[in-house]
Amino acid sequence: MIDRTQAPLPGPPRPYHFPHVTRATLANGLRVLVAQNHNAPLVSMRALVRSGADHDSPDVAGLASVVADLLDEGAGSRDGIKLTEDIGLLGGTLGTGADWDASYISLDILARYAHEAVEMFSDISSRATLPPDGLERVRAERITDILQQRDEPAAIAAKRFSGLLYGHGPYGVPMIGTADSVARISADDVRRFYRDHYIPNNTSVVVSGDIDPDQALKLVDEALGNWERGAEPPRPSIAPLAFEANRIYLVDRPTAVQSEIRIGHVGVARSSADYFPLSVMNALLGGIFNSRINLNLRERHGYTYGARSVFAFRRSAGPFVVAAPVRNEVTTESVQEVLGELRRIRTGDVEDQELEHTKSYLMGVFPATVQSASDIAGRLLDIELYGLPESYFEHYRESIGAVSKDDVERVAKKYIDPDRALIVIVGNAKQVREPLGTLGYPIHELDIDGNRIA
């Protein structure tokens, strides 16, 4: 008979190895990484262009992502429809996009057609046609997207929080731009961005999945070996604003039945030497379901369906933010509870078991997050984007394991600041204004476009 009163003990752990990676750099500077796996008859191809919305000047904010949106509007000898049809005939799914750090092309394809697909992948990377009528359509769609976000409380909260933290520049102006900035983007702007940034020596290509590494390297070399190199773009710098004390920005949304709360400040760059201690500290604080903030707001109080904290690790320091949608009546209590948790983690009250559980979660979960071809490709893109060591993911679990209680306390004290926090609340101002006043922080009221209201 088994003893149900005790959790069963584990068997001996089985070894785990990150997939073997084959690397090459072509004569034109293009870096190529290949990882093989046979979970499914699929191949993932990714191009990472190491320039993103961080290059957008505020007057044409949204440029990098508009260029990315235009990549599938035509490439090589195909127009957008023909490109889509031909990829569809190979069982492919094409995606393009940009974030703050980089621009991306992804093509997932049935493995038996990988050979044919590389040609189109190469056209999109190096011979996009960026047609003017495509720009007009993408522009109109984008302006409509921006319009639609006016109804989405989470989007409004994110936009206001970033804007107040970083001001009128990258990380502050929305990545997708504003209606005005998108209206200003010209066909020349688009062509210039593509010409200056989509160059082999600013790009890495990753191929993963059910394909022989030597064959993949050969295919990429044949398709992209002639891509002409250019001058490597300079790296932009990002300058956040500073707050000297806690302050609340209340965005009125009279129809709201929940308050979207954002609390935080400027965080840390991806390159930080404290990356692993920060990852452990944040997981324990609010990064996972059983973290302090979620257990407090959700399981102890029933205020929310879920609350979490995030360090947005980017090339420059992105925000640290706690996000929680809570019902109107408990807005003030929720802000208090979050600030309380931010204060508590800085006191060094982390328990041994709590730390061990968090670390073993992060270590144990790693293999589950790199099963599919596209998961593996994503990790290799991280290595390329942030200049991580080649063996980074082979040693990932040891690096987490080495984090100590002192490390957690040290980084909490250094990087969490509950007395200089920006607090953004998108909600029903009439209902939450007065209770929020009891917190004693200055309250600035905004409309959903961010204009101050008296």
Q: In angstroms, give the least distance from the CB of 113 to other proteins.
A: 9
Q: Is 235 in the site for other proteins (CB under 8 A)?
A: no
Which of 61, 373, 411, 423 is close enough to bind other proteins by CB under 8 A? 373
Which of 302, 387, 437, 450 is close enough to bind other proteins by CB under 8 A? 302
Q: In angstroms, give the least distance from the CB of 368 to other proteins.
A: 5
Determine the interface stretch with other proteins among 140-148, 188-196, 226-234, 388-396 (rule: CB under 8 A). Answer: 140-148
Which of 303, 313, 320, 415 is close enough to bind other proteins by CB under 8 A? 303
Which of 184, 247, 327, 405 is close enough to bind other proteins by CB under 8 A? 327
Which of 59, 151, 351, 398 is close enough to bind other proteins by CB under 8 A? 151
Q: State the angle between helix axes of 352-365 and 275-282 in degrees (0 to 180), rounded to the nearest 10.
A: 110
Q: Is 80 in the site for other proteins (CB under 8 A)?
A: yes
Cα separation, 436 vs 308, in Å, equals 21
Q: Is 258 in the site for other proteins (CB under 8 A)?
A: yes
Which of 24, 183, 288, 443 is close enough to bind other proteins by CB under 8 A? 288
* Per-residue contact string for residues 38-67; x = within reach of other proteins by CB under 8 A: xxxxx-------------------------
Q: Is 140 in the site for other proteins (CB under 8 A)?
A: yes
Which of 27, 179, 365, 453 is close enough to bind other proteins by CB under 8 A? 365
Site for other proteins in 87-116 (CB under 8 A): 88-93, 108, 110
3-state secondary structure string across the chain: CCCCCCCCCCCCCCCCCCCCEEEEECCCCCEEEEEECCCCCEEEEEEEECCCHHHCCHHHCCHHHHHHHHHHHEECCEEHHHHHHHHHHCCCEEEEEECCCCEEEEEEEEHHHHHHHHHHHHHHHHCECCCHHHHHHHHHHHHHHHHHHHHCHHHHHHHHHHHHHHCCCCCCCCCCCCHHHHHHCCHHHHHHHHHHHCCHHHEEEEEEECCCHHHHHHHHHHHHCCCCCCCCCCCCCCCCCCCCCCEEEEEECCCCCEEEEEEEEECCCCCCCCHHHHHHHHHHHHHCCCCHHHHHHHHHCCCECCCEEEEEECCCEEEEEEEEEEEHHHHHHHHHHHHHHHHHHCCCCCCHHHHHHHHHHHHHHHHHHCCCHHHHHHHHHHHHHHCCCCCCCCCHHHHHHCCCHHHHHHHHHHHCCCCCCEEEEEECHHHHHHHHHCCCCCEEEECCCCCECC
Q: How many binding residues for other proteins (CB under 8 A)?
A: 79
Site for other proteins in 375-394 (CB under 8 A): 375
Q: Is 77 in the site for other proteins (CB under 8 A)?
A: no
Q: In angstroms, give the least distance from the CB of 370 to other proteins.
A: 8
Determine the interface stretch with other proteins among 96-104, 160-168, 224-232, 302-310 (rule: CB under 8 A). Answer: 302-310
106 vs 246, which CB is nearer to other proteins?
106
Q: In angstroms, give the least distance from the CB of 18 to other proteins.
A: 11
Q: In angstroms, give the least distance from the CB of 93 to other proteins.
A: 6
Output b/e per residue, 197-219; b: 16+ Cβ within 10 A. Answer: bbbbbbbbbbbbbbbebeebbeb
Q: Is 10 in the site for other proteins (CB under 8 A)?
A: yes
Q: Which two tokens stand for residue 445?
A: 């009221």
Determine the interface stretch with other proteins among 116-124, 151-159, 191-199, 434-442 (rule: CB under 8 A). Answer: 151-159
Determine the interface stretch with other proteins among 3-11, 20-28, 408-416, 440-448 (rule: CB under 8 A). Answer: 3-11
Which of 295, 388, 439, 443 is close enough to bind other proteins by CB under 8 A? 295
Handedness of CA 49, 55, 60, 62 (dihedral sign): positive
Site for other proteins in 304-323 (CB under 8 A): 304-305
Q: Is 180 in the site for other proteins (CB under 8 A)?
A: no
Determine the interface stretch with other proteins among 164-172, 199-207, 234-242, 360-368 (rule: CB under 8 A). Answer: 360-368
Which of 4, 188, 231, 440 is close enough to bind other proteins by CB under 8 A? 4
Cα separation, 451 vs 156, in Å, equals 13
Q: Is 352 in the site for other proteins (CB under 8 A)?
A: no
